[in-house]
A and B are shown apart, each in its own frame.
Chain A
Amino acid sequence: MNKRLLALLSVLVLASMVLVACGGGDATEPAATEPAATEPAATEPAGPMGTLKIVSSLPMTGSSLTQTQTIVNAMQLRLEQADYKVCGGSYEIEYEAWDDASAALGKWDPAVETENANKAAADASIVAYLGTFNSGAAKLSIPILNAAGPLVMISPANTNPGLTKADKDLPGVTDSYYPTGTRSYVRVVAADDIQGQVAANFVKNELGAATVYILDDQELYGKGVADVFEKTANEIGLTVLGHEGIDPKAADYKALMTKISTSNAGGPPDAIYVGMVVDNNASQLLKDKVAIMGDNETVKFVGPDGIQTQAFIDGAGADVATGVYASVAGVPFSDLPAAGQQFKTDYEAKFGPLTEPYAVYGYETMSVAIRAIEDVCAAGGDPTDRAALTAAVFAIADFDGALGTWSFDANGDTSLTDMTFYIVEAGAYKAIGVFK
């Protein structure tokens, strides 16, 4: 009996493992189709001397996969263009796409991100950590990697201002992320102090709204951008009727939307601003808003880059999503410099149509990593020296990349501050212009 029981249990465990593996199929793809560290070695027997490992840590289980998959693809594309070799062929690069989400949470998981950071810190062959996607995750890994060399961390997507810039209301918080006192974290995307500010101006000036209701998903990123929006709105005379955090896993938000529908002296507000990522039930929120208050022409629905993804439109349905506005740092594909256009052409030739805005940032992070390694080699240094590499990343100035020509400041922020707004039309996001 006991043996049979054991057999049954092992079959169950096995079955669930198989299913988990299948279920995460999309997520594991990058690892499966992955770089082929052996390829260059096989084609060139003379071969490179050393191996440098670069890892990315992005949420690849959950709705964000739509965005993160394109980021990983873009990183691989950049490496393929370099033939996985740096420093004149004396080092080969090995790339691994790590997942910082878990099936249990359906989005980035603090435990997994911490584990990833610790794993990277302990592996001496890793020279750069590309990530994270979510600001809340970056908050956990920055201190771990900072104490490990420091191992340089380059993010394609974190936009919470506090990661790099000290907030005068929260003294010491930003510094506490960097226990060694040396900065080791940079991002190629503009922070939310710019995004929230531009969004508030956009809602008031471009959409002509006088009143706004703010909702956030209670995460570092979502609440951060919503707070900046609220602060700017108060400064420019846009009336904030309320600011609430939502339960990101609730079945529906009809009661909340009913309340909001009478918050403006008995009527609905002119606009609703949501600081959230798509994984946190953004589609459901929009659906209930439309059910209670009507389409997005009557009451405008505006969000940050966290909802600028096809998954958001698919979840809400194309009809419901029509007229939603979302902002993304940077310029639309059509306004990118020649290098950016080239990237899009190359990407689409290999992976198919590209609509997600973050792919080019993924490409840029990998370019930064490669450039820093080359710089260290050119100066006669050792690219496996993490501290030297970190210094080389911060030294990057007037970088001529796919996003344009830009530099990092001492905090690790990019000098690019353009913000593009998109609107949903016929089931897809369309760029409407660049705002500052």
Chain B
Amino acid sequence: METTKFKFNLRRFTFSALILYLVFLLGPIVGLDIPAIAASIKANPLQLVQFLIIGISNGAIIAIIALGYTMVYGIIELINFAHGDVYMIGVFTSLTVLSLTGTLESKDPGKIIFGLVLALVIAVVFCAILNAAIERLAYRRLRNAPRLAPLISAIGMSFIIENIGLMWAAQAWLVPSFGTTGGASQKSFPDMLGILFTSMGWDINLLASTGIALRFTIKDLLVIILAVTLMTGLYLFVQRTKLGKAMRATAQNRDAAKMLGINIDRVISATFLIGGGLAGAAGLMAGLYNNTAWWFMGFRAGLQSFTAAVLGGIGNITGGMLGGFLIGLLASFSDGYLNARWTNALVFATLVLILLFRPTGLLGEQTGQKA
């Protein structure tokens, strides 16, 4: 017993030593010049906080999308590749709502707030229904098929939705600012929060009046508040409500849950509805925060969120949130202190390293919390 434990530790030690060695060997190539980084932090400590703010805001969006992946995986063990694209549809839905209600041209604070709330509600409802419809159409019949079948079906749905986005972005009659350059190019998502704040006579940077050389904008604040509210709400929902309990039971053992009278189809539909709704909310947030609508944006967002879900422990809701924030921070610090060229490599290297030591992710697949 003791020998095995010792061996195990020795192996871990060798592993860690090897990785440290690699970090110091390869680090300088990616710009890991520790004295220079330390000097830059010392010269401008506030910038560290700035990168933290940017990382957390981006991480919040990733985390919310990651929740959709992790919930679906928890309950039917399917990686819903179309999820990132549902988020993209969320961006286009909210942009279209803002355009059709005339909010985009408006300078009236009341009208803008009304438009934004309406856009949030419609984007959430639309994406929730879309996601549930995808499940009904493409996954339900394959539920008992070999695992690969629904996976491929998911990839197919992803392509379908991407192409819907491609068509949507060409409809200038819906949103005049789409212009005549076709659906493939990036579209501008106007900075409604900036316009709203300027129209009310406030600075978009909440710290402008304090004289601190930091940018903490209303956008950052809103993204973080919305994300934390949604995540807390989801956590409480899964832990405290009857449907949440049913979701956890279905995740643990589908057949046993069925025997106890839980309507599995309804529970799974509800999971997709919630996941889709979260993606819709994330869509509006990302549109307001990054000001871009693009038919292809769901792909990268999906990849990052999926990574976040795996990093935190797929199927684990708290893990998904943690993973999202971690990836956001990692990317922000890498852009800031290393070379932007290596940011993706760094994010995925971290994923590989964490999975080497903890194959189930940071928080593991706690079945109790799985939903």
Contact = CB atoms under 8 A, between A and B. Distances in A.
B181 A258 contact: no
Interface in B155-199: 156-157, 159-160, 162-164, 166-167, 170, 177-188, 190
B181 A317 contact: no
Contact of A252 (B180, B181, B182, B290): B290
Interface string B131-152: 0000001100110010000000
B77 interface: no
Given A15-B160, A218-B341, A287 B184 contact: no
B44 A314 contact: no
Instruction: Among A8, A66, A250, find the residue whose CB has the most chain B CB atoms closer than 10 A.
Output: A250
A247 B183 contact: no
Contacts of A246: 340-341
Given A13-B156, A20-B163, A314-B178, A256 B183 contact: no
Contacts of B190: 317
B300 A251 contact: yes
B364 interface: no
Contacts of A8: 141
B160 A19 contact: yes
A311 B141 contact: no
A9 B344 CA distance: 35
Contacts of B98: none
B188 A255 contact: no
Contact of B163 (A22, A247, A310, A315): A22
Contacts of B183: 23, 26
B186 A258 contact: no
Interface in B272-314: 286, 289-292, 294-297, 299-301, 304
B290 A12 contact: no
Contacts of B292: 283-284, 287, 315
A147 B255 CA distance: 62
Interface residues of A, number: 56
A197 interface: no
B186 A251 contact: no
Interface stretch (A57-65, A74-82, A369-377): A57-65
Chain B interface category by residue count: 35 or more
A317 B184 CA distance: 16
Nearest to A288: B290
A406 interface: no
A253 B335 contact: yes
A251 B286 contact: yes
Contacts of A283: 186, 188, 292
B51 interface: yes
Interface string A77-105: 00000000000000000000000000100
A4 interface: yes
Given A262-B44, A315-B186, A66 B343 contact: no
A22 B50 CA distance: 44
Interface string A233-261: 00000000000111101111111101100
Interface string A2-41: 0011001100110110011011111000000000000000
Which A-B residue pairs are the 4 nearest by beta carbons?
Answer: A315-B186, A23-B163, A311-B185, A317-B188
16 contacts: A5-B142, A19-B160, A63-B186, A65-B181, A244-B339, A245-B340, A251-B290, A254-B332, A258-B51, A258-B215, A283-B292, A284-B290, A287-B188, A310-B179, A315-B187, A317-B190
Interface of A: 4-5, 8-9, 12-13, 15-16, 19-20, 22-26, 61-63, 65-66, 69, 103, 106, 215, 218, 244-247, 249-256, 258-259, 262, 266, 278, 281, 283-284, 287-288, 292, 309-311, 314-317, 320
